[in-house]
Structure 1
Amino acid sequence: MTPQPTQLSPLARFEKILVASDSSSFSADAVNVAIAMSAKAHANLYPFTMVLTNPEYEIVAPELLQKATDDARKHLETIVTAATRKKVAATPVLRSGDSPHEEIVAAAEEINTDLIVMGQQGRRRLARMMVGHATVSVIAAAKCSVLSVPVGGRMWEKRILLATDGSRFSDAAAVSAARIAHCCEVPVTVVSALVPSHSEQRQQEGREAVERTTAQLRNEGLRADGVTLAGEADDVIIRLTEEQDADLIVVGTYGRTGFGKVLVGSVCERVIGKSKCPVLVVKA
């Protein structure tokens, strides 16, 4: 019998999922993935949006602020309705402020969410703050894991690509990848990049990490294989994702204040920027 590493939820700690969204088409795929993942995990979904404002704006243009607030509520109602159709319990979250990434993180902490789901683009001013720097800022500041969904990203159903560097933070990512693989019944490919500038010892640690992680996944009854490839880490991850037709990338991070060290430097940021599929950044 295949072992099931699950308690309460098939995705273990993924029991409360917050999805950050505006009403643009760029966040629609993130919402769809969040609903699908919540359905798989039997998780509670928290659709989030915000009204960009500040004290001066509230005084000068109260009518415009009220309209923006009404539009935001309607947008959240649309997401709740879509979630309900999939039998997902959804609680809308509406906040106001001038910093989307700060409000997203604050809401996630108040709710004690296990996962934040974000699209990579938004619209107008909100767009400029919710992509690139803002995504990085959320990953850096959030206590929980973050799933970044690009435009065109879909719920995974083919293969998970798990990137490892042999650290305990990669081990945490492996745990999440295993849980998702069990729940979604998909295979896992474990990869480590043999970066040319790294020492032979460090490259050997990468090889051993792939062998160890692959064996652990197989011991849990999962279909898993391991690969080591020479090249820069982000290039290796993206290339193998395309070659393996993987539709979810899982990576680990050093935690709340160490995003600069994610998978060696800014590798994670570059992977998110290049990937055509969702990227899950797991907090240790």
Structure 2
Amino acid sequence: MNMTMTFEQFCSHYDNEETCSQALFSARWPDGFICPRCSHRQYYCIRSRKLPLYECRSCGAQTSIRSGTIMEGSRTPLKLWFQAIFLHAAPQGISALRLASIIGTTYKTAWLICHKIRYAMSTAGSSELLTGLVRINCGVYGRPYNPTIYRHPQEQPLLIGGTIDNDRITHIKIKQVPDHHLIYDRITSEASHDFVKTLLHSATTDITIVIHKFSRHRYKPLIQLCNSATGWINNTFNGIGPKHLQSYLDQFCFGFNYANRNADPFENLLRHSAVFPTLTYPALIRREDRSLQRKRNYSEQLKSVS
């Protein structure tokens, strides 16, 4: 599906559940059906429901087209899911409020759909490591609210890494720096070591790391990309707190990385959405929220110097 297609054209093409079901089948099983239980390839198609069931001819396990995907357990029609995936694959992204008004769902439903799609983006990106010539810089989401060493709760220190090919950034990773890798507003070397360990290919040897805010050795294109991520999040979503910030950073990276490839972003995002299990609402709301603790720490720090 070419992303030069307008949203209206897209909706006209995927205008019913059968068309969407067939596309989801192809995205989930591009080489043909594989039974999730026994890996057998032959099946019976049961069409007594709105969406078909696939029954394995070997073990008898029945699989719905939604099970094992980010859409599992959702009562939202597939065509609305497809519209949401299309809009998330677009460079500008979309907020839950705007999505709800377009596809005609409640805000809560749209909000959960958005986070499930971002979860697919994050999961897909986690397996694609930086390699080759890699540069890593510190960054920040938000802005410095005070000139002291104490970090304001709305300042979120980041590390951004990029693969450089012929003076061009081809692949990026942006990660929040956890509190235990910070000393006041400074990023520790443990943070950069963890970044390298988890996000760079083990064979990568040409690595330059700069974690000091005002170092003249910072790689400016990475700093500009970090600022672009901040601007995109603020303009599209009116700002994000620390609890869910990482998923929005992952979405920015997903969009940037796929823009550098000759690959259709919708088809790639649909494929990821079809092979990764869903993010449940309880798991989503249990994500650690450090904002209240940061506010308490900040208040205590100010009292100690007053």
TM over 0.5: no
Higher strand share: 1
Q: Which has the larger radius of gyration?
A: 2
TM-score (norm 2): 0.30
